[in-house]
Structure 1
Amino acid sequence: MPLKQASRRIMIVGTLFIWSIKFLIRPFVFIDPAFKPLIGLAPNLIGSFLLPFGACWFFQRIFRLETEMDLNVTCCFGLLLVVINEYLQLIPIFGRTFDYLDIISSVIGVFLGHLYFKRLMIRYTPIIVQPS
């Protein structure tokens, strides 16, 4: 299974998981107050984890993701956009709330996504044998 197909499957499952948390679990399932912060941070954590997979699946022409340096640049750029988005929530026009824990969970999610995507890159990269 090539890396793009693996990225597509991971993105679909991750997106469905985020939607189930946001639209089914949060509104309709009673959650113990001790676990509410985890459920609140889960969409940011999962969404940030999915950043390199989304870049591979949707933006393969822009973000080539052939080397570890490409992966580093892509993850840093995605994390920058997530942090900017969080700081834009300080503007009251958007009707959303700013939370430092969202930024922390995004950093953790991008880090874990980077590690897992790097493992998949190693697994799916063809080995080129040099003639001697």
Structure 2
Amino acid sequence: MTFKQLCRQVVILGTLLIWLIKFLIRPLHLLPHGADFMLGVAPNLLGSFLIPFGAYWFFHGRDHLMARLLRLQNAVELRQVCLISFGLLVLNEYLQMFPVFGRTFDVYDILMSVPGLGLSYFSFTWLQQRYAASAG
């Protein structure tokens, strides 16, 4: 299995888990009442974790402008993708303060994006190095 295939599987499974939480577990209250907070922030935590994996899956091996900006070939480019993603996540969350979008602003979503991206940065780096070592 190539690293790109692994990234695809991580993104697909993560997306299915987010959908499971958002559309089944939270609405049907399948977990105890104390888990409400974690169920509320889990989609942001998981979604931010998936960003580098999704960027690699979508843009690796392509040559258009976006793919050239988000190559993810080394730690500097990975850091750049994580910082840009965090900025966009914060912007998205602040846009929810306007009633036009019909969603609610939650500072905890921003706070949970930080550990999600941090964990993603280290796990993506570790997996990328592991795959590079086994291939070369």
TM-score above 0.5, yes or no = yes
Q: CA deviation at 1:59?
A: 2.4
Counterpart mapping for 1:1-132 below 5 A: 1-60=1-60, 61=62, 62=67, 63-126=70-133
What do residues 61-119 of structure 1 show as CA deviations (whole Å, max 9, x unaligned)?
41111111111001111111111100100111111110110000011101111111000
User: Which consecutive residues of structure 2, in runs of 5 or more, have no partner in the other structure?
Assistant: none
Distance 1:127 1:33 in 2: 45
Q: CA deviation at 1:124?
A: 1.2
Q: Compared with structure 1, are the counterparts of its residues 6 and 127 closer, same or farther at alpha carbon in structure 2 (3 Å cutoff)?
A: closer
Q: CA deviation at 1:58?
A: 1.1
Larger relative contact order, structure 1 or 2 (CA cutoff 8 Å, min sep 6): 1
More helix by share: 2
Percent identity among equivalent residues? 48
Say what the alpha-carbon RMSD is for the aligned residues.
1.7
Instruction: Tell me the number of residue pairs that the alignment of Structure 1 and Structure 2 aligns.
Output: 129
Letter in 1 for 2:119: L
Q: CA deviation at 1:23?
A: 0.6
User: Which consecutive residues of structure 1, in runs of 5 or more, have no partner in the other structure?
Assistant: none
Structure 2 SS opposite 1:50: helix
Structure 2 SS opposite 1:90: coil
